[in-house]
Homo-oligomer: A and B are copies of this chain.
Amino acid sequence: MSLFKKILSNSRSDEDGIFFTEIQKILGFKPNSIDIYKKAFTHRSFNKLDAKGNPISYERLEFLGDAMLSAVIAGHLFNEVPHGDEGYLTKMRSKVVSREHLNELGRDLNLIRFVSSNVPTKHFGDNIHGNIFEALIGAIFLDKGYTYCEKFINKRVIIPYVDIAKLEGKVISYKSMVIEWCQKEKKSFHFDIYDDNGIDGQRFFGVKLMIDSKIIAKSRATSKKKAEEIAAKRAYYALQEKMIIKH
User: Interface of A with B (CB < 8 Å)?
Assistant: 50, 52, 54-55, 59-60, 62-64, 66-68, 70-71, 73-75, 78, 82-86, 89-90, 138, 141-142, 145-147
Contacts and interface: CB of A to CB of B under 8 A. Distances in A.
Contacts of A67: 70-71, 73-75
Given A78-B64, A146-B147, A147-B146, A59 B85 contact: yes
Contacts of A73: 67
A85 B64 contact: no
A-B pairs with lowest CB-CB distance, top 6: A67-B74, A71-B71, A146-B146, A59-B86, A67-B71, A63-B86
Copies in the complex: 2
A50 to B, nearest CB: 8
23 contacts: A54-B82, A54-B83, A55-B85, A59-B86, A60-B84, A60-B85, A60-B89, A62-B86, A63-B74, A63-B78, A63-B89, A64-B74, A64-B78, A67-B70, A67-B71, A67-B74, A67-B75, A68-B74, A71-B71, A78-B138, A145-B146, A146-B146, A146-B147
